[in-house]
Amino acid sequence: MINTSGQFGRNAGRLLQILEKHGSLSKDQLQMNTQLRPYEIDIAIGWLAREDKISCENNMYQIGQTNLTDTIGTNAGVIWESLHKQGESSIDGLNTVTHLPKSQIYEAVGWLAREDKLSFSTKE
């Protein structure tokens, strides 16, 4: 992963601005309007869910009190526990250990990054 927590926050801000401008949008529409990659959208959703600023109904995201705590917050706990037990891991490693879909892992990463509970590095 090449992004940092600072970039995650900026991406979340972009997503929030698009939702303010356009109202409810699907993930595909968010990607088209923000030009962010799919995993960056997922991370931004997790970040905004932790801030209690985004909700989802019928796969459409909008600004509002979050209804995503049960899914993203729970998955963040699973990721946190896995990292606590296993130590450093990649997204693929987390996928193998937790069996969560990568999109849900990225959302949980956004949640945990917003809590300042993760550090990131790149491997060459």
Does residue 107 carry a pLDDT above 60? yes
- Angle between helix 102-114 and helix 38-50 axes, rounded to 10 deg: 40
Helix (H) or strand (E) holding 29: helix 27-34
- What are the structural domains, with CATH classification, of the chain? 1-115 (1.10.10)
More confident residue, 124 or 101: 101
Q: How far apart, in whole angstroms, are the C-alpha atoms of residue 32 and residue 107?
A: 18
Average pLDDT over residues 9-16: 96
pLDDT at 122: 66
Is the pLDDT at 124 greater than 80? The verdict is no
What predicted TM-score, i.e. pTM, was given to this entire model?
0.93
